[in-house]
Structure 1
């Protein structure tokens, strides 16, 4: 993720930064203008302080050299959204329901995965109620002074994100096993009518097949 702030020959401030909805809102508030180039905005020179403050609030940097950190996060928090934004960048998005999830710059899957599809044709989502997100993401080169780092769902490498993801997956699997046990308890053990060949071998498919192959075939 790169943010640059320069001055054009007319003395106006020129900002180039990644797409982010919060920055788009700040640009409108500050009266920024697009010069026709994607992701480039210009501002009046006397607004420089306000522009730099807005950049730090959104991206954690105003383009000055910054110390960076790496953090982890469980992607399930954005399961019902088509795209995830955080720490000044687009972390992940699914263009269409059946498309794989695409990760933003500096974002990597540490463990787990996203479901193969999510949402509906008109409203794609990162997650699916039938196939929960298990992905834990690692986000690199985050400016250390980004104000969003105070939110407790970001953890340092070796933190709790991975462990929390495994705990959630275990809980999901445990619940599914309980459902299967209940279904099995409520299902009769033998639905084969009495007198049907092989009924006496209920529960022993090998013996049943042997019995079937041992019987003579009449035409």
Structure 2
């Protein structure tokens, strides 16, 4: 995805400085690790993500973002009454039969802090928490479709299907924008509060979302 992203940024006049850190910010600009000073009255800082502070109250192993390492059912191994999902949980996305979240194989794939994982994880975690209360069997978290879609300004986006080194760019530019707009404006929003059937269907662990025709997927 990187070459297409860089092409779009260049076309939009965005200058990229890879491998450069910010070492200082003041009222008139920023100072970089290379010694360069960039004059600006409007610095905007975005510096990564971390898990919610609530995770610190729950015992068990955590990843470098502070996310709870969960098992195949999204349960916290050291706090078995707790299920975690979304940006608070780190789960395996591959089909390895090993339920031990601490076993990290060289080919292992883990969830990222993005909506593509958060929404399915929420469905499974909610289902399994309810099943636990009712004495019913839990479902193993499984995610058939993996992909990343990024917004690149007013008219462009980029969609890559798959994960890791196997990800392939499927749509880019104006062709990907309708899909990103549909995700932002429709997919991520829950049904109306009075739509009980819709809420139950949206919360089903098996993702039944159908992408509208004409969005390129």
**TM-score over 0.5 (shorter chain):** no
**RCO higher in structure (CA 8 A, sep ≥6):** 1
TM-score (norm 2): 0.24
TM-score (norm 1): 0.24
When you count helix as a share of all residues, which structure comes out higher? 1
